[in-house]
Amino acid sequence: MTAATAGPPTSPTAAARLAGWALGLTLEQVPRPAREAALRHLLDGLGCAVAAGTDLPAVRVARDLGGPPEATILGTPWRVGAPAAALANGTLVHALDFDDTHAGGLVHATAPVLPVAFAVGEETGAGGAEVLIAALTGYETICRLGAAVPHGFHARGLHATAVCGVFAAALVAARLYGLSHARCVDALGIAGSQAGGLLEFLHTGASTKQLHPGFAAQAGIMAARLARAGASGPASVLEGAHGLYGALLGRPGLDPITGLGERWEVTRIGVKPYPACRLLHASLDAARTLKADAGEIAEITAEVHPDAAPIVCGPGKDRVRTPYEAKFSLPWSVAAMLVDGEVTVRTYADVDRPEVAALAAKVRHEVTPFPGVAADQPGRLRVRFADGTSAVAESPPLSPDPAEQVRAKALGNGLSERAAGLVLNLPSLSTLQPLIQELIA
């Protein structure tokens, strides 16, 4: 090796800078809006997990994996190893597709972050303030990694939540385990070799997407533990030629962490009002404003972002086979909104309703340019009625107070008033145990 090729890089890698920021972060350095946003999203995530119930394959497998009683499977008295708990809890948070979304990164931010913060936080006996700081580092990481390439992972058939979530999970675990800076960088490097998650479920109605955050959370904990045990990972895992973006997208050299600690992406995460793919929510909002009998409608044309169309529209989308397939069908979901006047968890319990299928067959889409990302595009439906008249339905402006919206949603999903209060006052808890116990009650 020549002198020109030997030696360390001239400047810290993105992973090294990310680790340094995350390990040094204090709650006092976090602006109040960012702290409050993180607490709201943890509350929302716990509500989604409780609403999902525990009769899921991932929960059964986590119980079978067992391990030392380090962490609790949310909503149950069952304690298993922290990696197994993270697998179950990541799946629970995301199971209903009701969990939050960062529009810029098109990632479900809480699903891989909360399970690690709670599992490792419980394992290590961390206080609520430290759990919150760890979660904040995870939120910033997953959102920034995804937003660096808007829709980039999805365009390649990869689920950005799984791809980016494993790095966030590793960083959350590294912070709570108290790893050194060098070991934290190793954990991120190791996590990179576990970044994945295929979107093939879109074509079959399979439920693998539910598992992706669980995989990411479990793998992130394992990456941190392996680094703690002495395994090494490439420091150039993000910007390297064969790093995250280079290997998966063919676009090496990206730097997703500019402005860390100055611009807080956690404040840009949106809470879902409907348990379905975020890319069809604007159309649901528009449909909700349409005052018409479903039987009077001859045709509906939805204006859809170019990035959203391949995911929620297209041939066969009006003929769904499974509840999960319906959650990614704009025609079926819009039809259900018009038939029922609402879209809730119950909407997707029965996807064989003839009246919904008949209306879904009348829903078309038109790809419409929009200067922003797909999840931010407003909804617009052009409706033609059987009598020859027409109408346009558009999304109303968003106005509900986020704090009250999230709290009401969490309570509606089955969280108790006391549990909600404990989450929103997380920094005051000396351990997670009072909250964990309240989730069991």
Residue with tokens 């093939």: 200
Token pair, residue 194, equals 């576990």
pTM of the model: 0.93
Q: What are residue 366's DSSP bridge partners?
A: 303
Do the Cβ atoms of 48 and 93 come closer than 8 Å? yes
Pairing of strands 79-80, 71-72: antiparallel
Do the Cβ atoms of 98 and 151 come closer than 8 Å? no
CA neighbours closer than 13 Å in the CB half-sphere of residue 342: 5
Which pLDDT tens digit goes with each residue over 289-315? 998 888 899 999 999 999 999 999 999
CA distance 434 to 93: 20
CATH class of 278-394: alpha beta
Q: How many CB atoms lie within 10 A of CB 398?
A: 11
DSSP H helical ranges for 230-376: 244-249, 281-288, 309-312, 323-326, 330-340, 354-360
The CATH number of the domain covering residues in 14-260+406-440:
1.10.4100.10
CA distance 226 to 372: 40
CA distance 147 to 145: 6
Determine the pLDDT at residue 400. Answer: 55
CA distance 161 to 273: 19
CA distance 77 to 55: 14
**149: which DSSP letter?**
S
CA distance 76 to 73: 6
Domains 14-260+406-440 and 278-394 belong to one CATH topology: no
**251: which DSSP letter?**
-
| Angle value at C-alpha 419, between 417 and 424, nearest 5 degrees | 95
> Of 350, 337, 327, 418, which is closest to residue 381 (Cα–Cα)?
337
Token pair, residue 67, equals 């391990």
Low-confidence residues in the chain, pLDDT < 50: 1-9
> Of 143, 140, 133, 188, which is closest to residue 15 (Cα–Cα)?
188
CA distance 395 to 441: 39
Q: Please state the domain extents for the chain.
A: 14-260+406-440, 278-394
> Of 354, 336, 356, which is closest to residue 344 (Cα–Cα)?
336
Determine the pLDDT at residue 430. Answer: 98
CA distance 335 to 343: 10
| Angle value at C-alpha 363, between 358 and 365, nearest 5 degrees | 160
